[in-house]
Amino acid sequence: MIAIIDYDAGNIKSVEKAMIRLGQDVCITRDKERILTADKVILPGVGAFGDAMGKIHQYGLESVIHEVVERGTPFLGICLGLQLLFERSDETPGVEGLGILKGEILRIPDHPGLKIPHMGWNSLDFQNDGRLFKNLPEHPYVYFVHSYYLKAAEEDIVTATTEYSTHIHASVEKGNVFACQFHPEKSSDIGLQILKNFVEL
């Protein structure tokens, strides 16, 4: 069973739909036991960093997420779910993230001719042999919606990057923890293959 953590985030239903398309038994939950006994766990997210951390605290999910990671359960953060895994964000100064991975979330710099938020399809450049990207062509296009981006402290956890006004760490992998700034559930066949690779870990 795959648990999708429910903390009132925006893209939960589309992640659930994608997993059902892949034939997975999936449940949207904030129940501690269901999350801890799941085979894999997904932290989705659309919205503001500070609000999301507030909900995670409100529902008592912070310790659960840390426990899932410590147990070695495959864990996937998507979009805001990636950002929350890190230490801090320009979006909400003074609010601490989950701190599972080292790095910070910065505002995409203004650039003539580029709109922020960054919404649309961008190609990925792979590095460090990410397991999520098995059986994918080079430089595949995936769908992004974000105004803030990851700058990871450890270059060796970065598995994909993209360029939009700046150099963006688009995906990371460390042990059993995986995360994507883009939305695999909205990235057509490429995105489904990425989720399939996660399912098959």
Please list the active-site residues: 79, 183, 185
What spatial distance separates the first Cα and last Cα of the chain, rounded to whole Å? 13
CA 189 from centroid of its chain's CA atoms = 18
DSSP letters for 45-114: --S-HHHHHHHHHHTT-HHHHHHHHHHT--EEEETHHHHHTSSEETTSTT-----SS-EEEEEPPPBTTB
199 and 40 Cβ atoms separated by less than 8 Å: yes
